[in-house]
Structure 1
Amino acid sequence: MACSAVRAPLLRNTTVRHYAAAAAATQSAPAQNLDIQVLSNKITVATLDNDSPVTQVSVTFKAGPRNETYETQGTSHVLRLAAGLTTNRSSAFGITRNIQQIGGNLTATTDRESIAYTLQCTRDKLDVGLKFLEDVATRQVFKPWELNDQIPRLRYELSSIPETTRVLELLHKAAYRKGLGYSLYSPKQRIGKIGTENLQHFVNTWFTGPRCAVVATGVSQEQLNKFASQLQVGSSESSGEPARYFGGELRKERSSSLATVAVAVEGAGLNKEKEAIAFAILQRAAGTGPHVKWGSTSAPLYRTVATAAGKDPFAVSALNASYSDSGIFGFILTAPGNIAGTLTTAASKWLLKPSVTDADISRGKAELKAAVLYATDNSIARHESLAQQALFKGTVASPSAIIAEIEKVSAADVKNVAAKIGKGKLSMAGIGDLDTVPYVEELK
């Protein structure tokens, strides 16, 4: 049994969650038998039968930290760790042993708005694997003594979070406070306080048919429909509070020679598709760091910071995250503490008045299209893209349709969203040696 929080610091694969799902499914489905429909229990089912000998099936729910409350923070983290524990039909040992016997893999992944349980196995063993996928995703019982056994694992995860991830968690907290501001990781003060009742209430409230998508690659639509129709999920259409961006600042001093700083303004959510894609292009145009080890880049954000840094070492990247109804756009940088303040000021000046040329935008579009196509070549990334699109959009766009939507965004559209950034309210987070790092009100 395996489980992971995020595959990359910036909220999983960028082409999966924030770009691919942003494109409207306005063109025909891909040539490989892609079917999508909504069953009588309101579960969205999407299948790509590509004749692959290895099948992937995900049961994904629109539930994550943004659905928590102040008193229940950390529920999503504990829920992810509880994947594979005893259910009302199988023991933890039975689940692990049977998945191993068929050479399969069962994982749980989360982001701020979703949790996905994914089975990977050979096609001829799928019937066996689906039974245990159903158990893990919908038949949890959360026995108290098993939850207590997960506490050392929880503490280990909290102690091994990378600094870049920590600063991004602080940035979301500063920007949204609640909802999207709640962390992917449990607060330390909540360790051992998330019990059976908390988890069961969360599952009963948010693990429902209208908030569920079952997606598979290498499986027939008929077989997947049969599996999805038997899932024991509720039928209520619970809806959370709309995201509300506030802006603000959080700093965490640490004994370190480095400072990691993130600054952002409100971006665009997936409900504003064209703007979301424009921000995605702007991120690539601004620069996400060198693509060659020890190399450099001509991206404007990098050039601005490099000029301020001189010969001193640093790392900087534009960041962009689009959620269902909101988003953030900004930068994250790491540098020695003695120059971190100078670099933060320089990068913030660029952010508040971003300067990108038509050539930068053209390069950004090319990089974004390449990222979408590279994800298509990766079976795991392609599967995750299908799952997120089905869950949040109710439709699935082919790679060619996504590329077409990117092409529709003009240089003027990108410059328009760039012009709005300077009017936004800043959010800032810092961790490490922050002696020289300015406060957020000093950046305007």
Structure 2
Amino acid sequence: MAIIRHLTRTTLSLSLLSLSNGSTRSASSLLHRSPPPPQDPTLMQYDRLSNSINTKIKRLDHPDPRFLRYTSPHPTSSLDLTPILSSPRTRITTLPNGLRVATQSTQWDKTATVGVWVDAGSRFETDETNGVAHFLEHMILNGTKSRSGKALWEEVENMGGYLNAYTSREQTTYYVKVMGEEVPMALDILADMLQNSCMDEALIDQERGIILQEKEEVEMQAEEVIFDHLHATAFQYSPLGRTILGPVNNIKKITKADLQDYVSTHYAAHRMVICGVGAVRHEDIVEQVKKLFTKLSANPNTSLQWVANQPTIFTGSEVRIIDDDAPLAQFAIAFEGASYTDPDSIALMVMQTVLSSWDKTSGAGKHMGSELAQKVSINELAESMAAFSTNYSDTGLFGVYAVAKPDCLEDLSQAIMYQITKLIYRVSEVDVIRARNQLKSSMLLHLDGTTPVAEDIGRQLLKYGRRIPLTELMARIDAVDVDTVKHVANRFIFDKDMAIAAMGPIQGLQDYNWFRRRTYWLRY
């Protein structure tokens, strides 16, 4: 056996020498940049050469030590968790009817955000009623039985407040930002809006025209249109595939009965969260909510039952809208992603940060850490690009959106698919560490202000049933390593179908089979 091992080492050494024109000296010259390792006088010349080459290979497997020393992504000392541990506490109270009240008080804030988060959006509609959730949002902001639309908005403005609302595919939100002393009045306005909304037929017809105009404006925003088409092709014949505003024909025929039925079915107490952040006191908010929110529906139909009855199925497909008159082409490539509660949702967020985003007006350009951003910037392949990871109750979308000139589509597609598929096979530890740090920073920076914090609390209570502490969230992000990224990429990307939406001058964009073929690498 000793003879066989010796012959193996000798054969390896001879094969390495053959790469350098058969010269021992030329092979050694490739390695003389670094001091040779201590040599054992008992080893033969070929053995010493083999050992020196193996040492060189091992050295290349590690990052440059100078990089780790001066600009290291590795923490040199234990992370100071004092600011996170001392963050304000989120207090939650569940009332007998199932209504949840959550607050986060901060002594240094003079303002407060109070709002209502409802587990109801366009996903909880049918083909015939698609658009009702957004229409209802407009009607609720248009006055109540005791406050006309003008009186409602004047009251908010007179106390220096800011009233807003929005509807998404799975959530509807109404919130007011006011000074701390005006919180009781803000809650009174919210309760009146949600329980005593004026559904007058004349107001419905008036709002119908406003919504149709809003739809025309949205259709002029290419990014909104692309993602609507992406959802439509990815989630065909399912609620998530429908638009939030609904088709024009539905908007024209939505009635008062449709609006009232949606309220009684989905605006139930156990599907709502009332949240206050800033200059608020939890006990006061709870007492006011008990007195004000007394007319909410108690319909037992829950969002989980609705989702279970209408499951979402991801369909590998594409939609292309050719418009040669448009100056730029836009397209989005998406794989089926993770749901909110999926354990791999955090890893997908890290992967999204690894791919990153870039815009032509960005000053970073070729100096960004993302290889995809560097490739796009150096070769001027796009006007902008951005990776995204969107979560829903039972599914999600993970992919890249890009805007580019028509003659750059082929090279841009190649760069995007290479970097996405590369996550399965080869990910550097430095890239993962940088992505974790960027993700944690962006999350903390996003929670700057009472309104973002209130939105975070309301969304988490609807989706997770609890507020995830920052320490837990940071720990979950830090737990994502290279192996985790490869495992998750293998689950969601390797040889998986995708959805593609594209529009503009897109004749140069490769077909679906081209993209599908590049979801894996063949290696022999």
Q: TM-score range by the shorter chain?
A: 0.7 to 0.9
Q: Is the 8 A contact 1:106 1:118 kept in 2?
A: yes
Identity rate, percent: 23
d(CA) in 1 for partners of 2:387 and 2:87? 35
Residue in structure 2 matched with residue 222 of structure 1 by the alignment: 283
Q: Letter of the 2:404 partner, please give it.
A: A
d(CA) in 1 for partners of 2:483 and 2:463? 28
Residue in structure 2 matched with residue 43 of structure 1 by the alignment: 99
Closer, same or farther: CA 369–289 of 1 in aligned 2, 3 Å: same
Select the structure with the greater relative contact order (CA < 8 A; seq sep ≥ 6).
1
SS in 1 for 2:330: strand
Residue in structure 2 matched with residue 395 of structure 1 by the alignment: 466
Structure 2 unmatched runs, 5+: 1-83, 517-524
Residue in structure 2 matched with residue 337 of structure 1 by the alignment: 406
Closer, same or farther: CA 50–415 of 1 in aligned 2, 3 Å: same
Which of 277, 280, 283 is the equivalent residue of 2:349?
280
Which of 110, 122, 134 is the equivalent residue of 1:65?
122
Q: Is the 8 A contact 1:259 1:432 kept in 2?
A: yes
d(CA) in 1 for partners of 2:354 and 2:484? 13
Residue in structure 1 matched with residue 341 of structure 2 by the alignment: 271
Q: Is the 8 A contact 2:347 2:488 kept in 1?
A: yes
Q: Letter of the 1:263 partner, please give it.
A: I
Aligned residue runs from structure 1 range 83-232, under 5 A: 83-161=140-218, 162-177=221-236, 178-217=238-277, 218-229=279-290, 230-231=292-293, 232=295
Q: CA RMSD in A?
A: 2.2
Q: CA deviation at 1:401?
A: 2.8
Q: Is the 8 A contact 2:265 2:301 kept in 1?
A: no
User: How many residues get paired?
Assistant: 414
Q: Deviations over 1:153-197 (max 9, x none)?
A: 223322323211211111111111222222223223333222211
Closer, same or farther: CA 237–434 of 1 in aligned 2, 3 Å: same
Q: CA deviation at 1:333?
A: 0.5
d(CA) in 1 for partners of 2:355 and 2:400? 9
Q: Is the 8 A contact 2:359 2:383 kept in 1?
A: no
d(CA) in 1 for partners of 2:86 and 2:133? 34
Q: Letter of the 2:104 partner, please give it.
A: L
Closer, same or farther: CA 206–349 of 1 in aligned 2, 3 Å: same
Residue in structure 2 matched with residue 356 of structure 1 by the alignment: 427
SS in 1 for 2:252: coil
d(CA) in 1 for partners of 2:244 and 2:388? 18
Which of 266, 276, 297 is the equivalent residue of 1:234?
297
d(CA) in 2 for partners of 1:106 and 1:325? 31
Which of 409, 428, 443 is the equivalent residue of 2:500?
428
TM-score normalised over the length of structure 1: 0.87
SS in 1 for 2:93: strand
d(CA) in 1 for partners of 2:156 and 2:268? 25
Q: Letter of the 1:101 partner, please give it.
A: N
Q: CA deviation at 1:290?
A: 5.7
Residue in structure 2 matched with residue 256 of structure 1 by the alignment: 326
SS in 1 for 2:284: helix
SS in 1 for 2:332: strand
Q: Is the 8 A contact 2:184 2:288 kept in 1?
A: no
d(CA) in 2 for partners of 1:165 and 1:103? 32
Closer, same or farther: CA 311–74 of 1 in aligned 2, 3 Å: same
Q: Deviations over 1:377-410 (max 9, x none)?
A: 2332122111111222121123333212211222
SS in 2 for 1:416: helix
d(CA) in 2 for partners of 1:240 and 1:347? 36
SS in 1 for 2:357: coil
SS in 1 for 2:113: strand
Residue in structure 2 matched with residue 17 of structure 1 by the alignment: none
d(CA) in 1 for partners of 2:89 and 2:408? 55
Residue in structure 2 matched with residue 381 of structure 1 by the alignment: 452
d(CA) in 2 for partners of 1:76 and 1:315? 32
Deviating more after overlay: 260-269 vs 106-115: 106-115
Structure 1 unmatched runs, 5+: 1-27
Closer, same or farther: CA 253–118 of 1 in aligned 2, 3 Å: same
1:318 matched to 2:378: no
d(CA) in 1 for partners of 2:414 and 2:260? 46
Closer, same or farther: CA 257–292 of 1 in aligned 2, 3 Å: closer
Q: Is the 8 A contact 2:360 2:383 kept in 1?
A: no
Q: Deviations over 1:239-281 (max 9, x none)?
A: 3123322232122233302111001111111121x30000000
